[in-house]
Amino acid sequence: MARTDEGTTLGYEQARDELIEVVRRLEAGGTSLEDSLALWERGEELAKVCRRWLEGARARLDASLADESPEEDGGGADAPLT
């Protein structure tokens, strides 16, 4: 999915956890303007990673639900027995 500066792939949970830490550090304050901007940029990157994971999950769910169409011949589980 998304790659870090070291070339490793970030999973959703990893990106989310790091994003939480970035937000915590920004909210705590006490960092220089340059450090704050770097944190903000990293947070934006991590938010994009999370968004891509969630969009991919949504697409997979939508595809799965689209595949679950009712039986065409009426012989489904709810059809009356004759």
Q: What is the pTM of this model?
A: 0.70
**CA dist., res. 63 & res. 1, Å (int):** 19
Q: How many residues does the structure list for the chain?
A: 82
What integer pLDDT is reported at residue 6 of this predicted model? 47
What integer pLDDT is reported at residue 43 of this predicted model? 98
SS3 of 3, please? strand
**β-sheet bridge partners, residue 3:** 9
What integer pLDDT is reported at residue 10 of this predicted model? 93
Q: Give me the average pLDDT of each 10-residue run along the chain (82 residues).
A: 60 98 97 97 97 96 85 54 54
What integer pLDDT is reported at residue 7 of this predicted model? 47
